[in-house]
Structure 1
Amino acid sequence: MTHLSPDPHLSTPRHLEVAIIGGGQAGLTLSWHLKARGIDHLVFEKKTAMHAWRDQRWDSFCLVTPNWQCDLPGHPYDGDDPDGFMKKDEILDWLRRFRDKLDPPLLENTAVLKVSRRAGGGFTIASSAGSFTADQVVAASGGYHVPIVPRFAERLPADIRQIHSADYRSPQSLPEGAVLVVGSGQSGAQIAEDLHLAGRKVHLAVGDAPRCARFYRGRDVVTWLAEMGYYDMPVERHPLKEGVRDNTNHYVTGRDGGRDIDLRRFALEGMALYGLLQDLEGTRLRFAPTLREALDAADRVYNGINASIDRHIAEHSIDAPPPSVYAPVWVPETEPESLDLEAAGIGTIIWCIGFRPDFHWLDAPVFNGAGHPVHHRGVTAEPGVYFLGLPWLHSWGSGRFSGIDRDARYLADRITAGTAEVRRAG
């Protein structure tokens, strides 16, 4: 790999045609395209390349999408199980080999402190490794920056360990006692399962995340949806338009070859389910009476996706096993509205309620009131400022290995045009 560092003896900052902020798969994929076009660039990474896959995933983590969807430029999945789901170590090895093939111009362990427009054009980049200038800047650091933890967590008893999903590693790494998992998105549902399978008593505060089947009518549901074009649908064609970017991903797992995650079945097996967590009074947590509707809503999405597959099969006369409809295996008799932490023996709370973006370092008028970037396919209204690696940047596929290359290629074309313009002017 090409490791770079600034020369402290230079009287003027090093100038780049393009600065890429973020050394994850998105930033490195864009680097691949810029190298192919002969555009001078540098990838800034505050830790190490693609560190989040190592540092923010638990030990039993595996992909929830089939391996065949892993397709970075010049580096498709090359294992012997395209329909399987790579485990954490396999993902890290695959990504390491991509990085080694690419040999990117990469500046690791370097935090970008501020990017601002400079007089005369382009940008000034202040970093922990010195100053740089660039004609164009790409924020490729993703959108999951600051772990979300509710403010009332400060009032929880000091003897209860609190961690965010990004810091969870294994059931064995937690103190003794029951575990409260807050949030039922992909991370929350899978962590709850991990603990449940290890024999830990799990209490789960269920949110509004939808779910989907792992396999249906003889194929992985992802394979069906890909064939139906769901991952290629652009934001502007989605019924929710840009609102789809706020959606929570469906919970499902690739564990042990892949299967559904059915919270109702977990309840039959002893997991305690609750509605949305609202507040804390002493040692007692309060929940909204939303559990029944949350489970029903998740099942409606589950059956709705399967019904769309049924229509696709019928319209194209595809030979497939017969259809089916999921029927609840458990229904809550009551809506539990409180939980006494001490009486329940809760030793750990795991917050699985997501992250918020933090682009404080980017001084540019490209954000909405919630701090989210405003863009079209990563291109902002501010000349020379781009985003890459965001969920639903362009389509559902943007948040998957299968869609990164397309998004990066699109931006590379725009960046190339901008570089040509700067070169002509210079």
Structure 2
Amino acid sequence: MPSQETEVVVVGAGQAGVAISEHLGARGIPHVVLERHRIAERWRSERWDSLVANGPAWHDRFPGLEFTDLDRDAFASKELVADYFVAYAEKIGAPIRCGVEVTSVRRHTGRPGFRVETSRGAVDARFVVVATGPFQRPLIPPVVPDGAVPAQIHSSGYRNPGQLPEGAVLVVGAGSSGVQIADELRRSGRRVLLSVGPHDRPPREYRGRDFCWWLGVLGLWDAETPPQGAEHVTIAVSGARGGHTVDFRALAADGIELVGLTTSYADGVLRFAPDLAANIAGGDTTYLALLRAADAYVERNGLDLPEEPGAHLLGPDPDCVTNPRLELDLARAGVTSIVWATGFATDYGWLKVDAFDRDGRPDQRRGVSTEPGVYFLGLPWLSRRGSSFIWGVWHDARYIADHITTQRGYLHYDSADRIG
């Protein structure tokens, strides 16, 4: 790709990159989207084989295109999601260039804009939108040393049970990924232990409506800041096998042993915090709170939705919760694999601009960074709770495109155009 100029360079062609391209294109703003792999690559190559979207097809999409050949209440497979974004990019004519890796972004000296260096040449741009998302660098806590078990992998590297050596598996992390992987492994016949930390546990469906619908009508998707201390709390929800409410008691009844937060390792023994019961209870609290809020909404609005009194009943805690295991001799327990479903970190080493706070996090408000001309898109809580979800990123992208439009007006101002 020869050196060129454009108004906006968008880095990344996942859901955020496609979304901002639609809004920039609708405003006639020249731009290019640079993607080092394929469109929506992480959906294809960095997720396990059986993954489906965590929201139903009617919800987890952009406004301009529905999923084809899929029931609106079904959950799209990872391949269908990736194909959806390819089709959307084609529909809007997004100027995406795949196989182009951005290696650095630096502000010009003595003139506006930025020099964007790539694996295929340089691009000069007035604005840069960082649409690389939050899932850039897999995080594996430095707890268990290499070689302590035959296999340690991050959830982004897990594909299916047959990938792991024979033996028991410890899954660390009880968000959507950890729960679904643990359940799949158990159904394949493995002995499975699941390390459960703090989490939110919404109902998959209640009174005939998906939890995505409830969060919408209750205004919870629009929350602008997370509850204190819950900025990084995971959400245990699943669209697997047609969608179901995650129930840790049911997982235990199916043979998964629950343990607390994984804390340390020494001499072949892994140790867990004595917090399992508290973590389960915390998830129950968020679950029941949503049910009560939904009931109040139904009554307040006179809706004819079937009651579900049974949904409010929680069964007794299993023995693994009331008498939790605090230590595990990995060899004696036959644990040959650990799957770390412990999230991701961002990686902005290529972004050489003053757009970060003292902790290295993007310093931004609704995606508008402290470095004029640089924007972030697709991050959790960028503007509200829904920001990192498919539909939420589309609305955040519209705001950023509006902001760029306004700034272009200032930059293109000419005193000769003044009246009087």
Shift of 1:80: 4.4
Out of 121, 124, 128, the position equivalent to 1:133 is 124
Shift of 1:175: 1.2
Shift of 1:247: 2.9
Shift of 1:423: 3.0
Name the SS for the 1:350 alignment partner.
strand
Out of 158, 163, 167, the position equivalent to 1:177 is 167
Partner residue, 2:336? 347
Partner residue, 2:181? 191
Partner residue, 2:362? 373
Partner residue, 1:265? 250
- Which stretch shows the higher mean deviation, 270-279 or 72-81? 72-81
- Return the alpha-carbon distance in structure 1 between the equivalents of residues 106 and 193 of structure 2: 46
Partner residue, 1:154? 145
Partner residue, 1:16? 6
Name the SS for the 1:330 alignment partner.
coil
Letter in 2 for 1:146: R
Q: Is the 1:156–1:283 contact (alpha carbons within 8 Å) kept by the matching residues of 2?
A: no
Deviations 1:24-81 (A, max 9, x none): 1111111112122221111111222110100111111111111111332532334441
Q: Is the 1:267–1:330 contact (alpha carbons within 8 Å) kept by the matching residues of 2?
A: no
Q: Tell me the TM-score normalized by structure 1.
A: 0.91
Partner residue, 1:229? 219
Matches within 5 A, 1:297-312: 297-312=282-297
- Return the alpha-carbon distance in structure 2 between the equivalents of residues 32 and 285 of structure 1: 49
Gaps spanning 5+ residues in structure 1: where?
Answer: 1-5, 8-12
Partner residue, 1:383? 372
Q: CA RMSD in A?
A: 1.8
- Return the alpha-carbon distance in structure 1 between the equivalents of residues 79 and 101 of structure 2: 26
Letter in 2 for 1:21: V
- Return the alpha-carbon distance in structure 2 between the equivalents of residues 425 and 225 of structure 1: 47
Letter in 1 for 2:269: R
Name the SS for the 1:71 alignment partner.
coil
Partner residue, 1:327? 314
Partner residue, 1:252? 237
- Which stretch shows the higher mean deviation, 70-79 or 299-308? 70-79
Gaps spanning 5+ residues in structure 2: where?
Answer: 416-420
Shift of 1:206: 0.8
Name the SS for the 1:76 alignment partner.
coil
- State the number of aligned residues: 410
Deviations 1:123-159 (A, max 9, x none): 11122212221101111101221111122333442x5
Shift of 1:291: 0.8
Percent same amino acid among aligned pairs?
Answer: 38
Out of 198, 202, 208, the position equivalent to 1:218 is 208
Out of 295, 310, 316, the position equivalent to 2:280 is 295
- Return the alpha-carbon distance in structure 1 between the equivalents of residues 63 and 198 of structure 2: 35
- Return the alpha-carbon distance in structure 1 between the equivalents of residues 35 and 348 of structure 2: 14
Partner residue, 2:75? 85
Segments of 4+ moved more than 6 angstroms: none
Shift of 1:118: 1.0
Q: Is the 1:17–1:136 contact (alpha carbons within 8 Å) kept by the matching residues of 2?
A: yes
- Return the alpha-carbon distance in structure 2 between the equivalents of residues 281 and 155 of structure 1: 13
- Return the alpha-carbon distance in structure 1 between the equivalents of residues 411 and 238 of structure 2: 47
Matches within 5 A, 1:38-49: 38-49=28-39
- Return the alpha-carbon distance in structure 1 between the equivalents of residues 206 and 360 of structure 2: 39
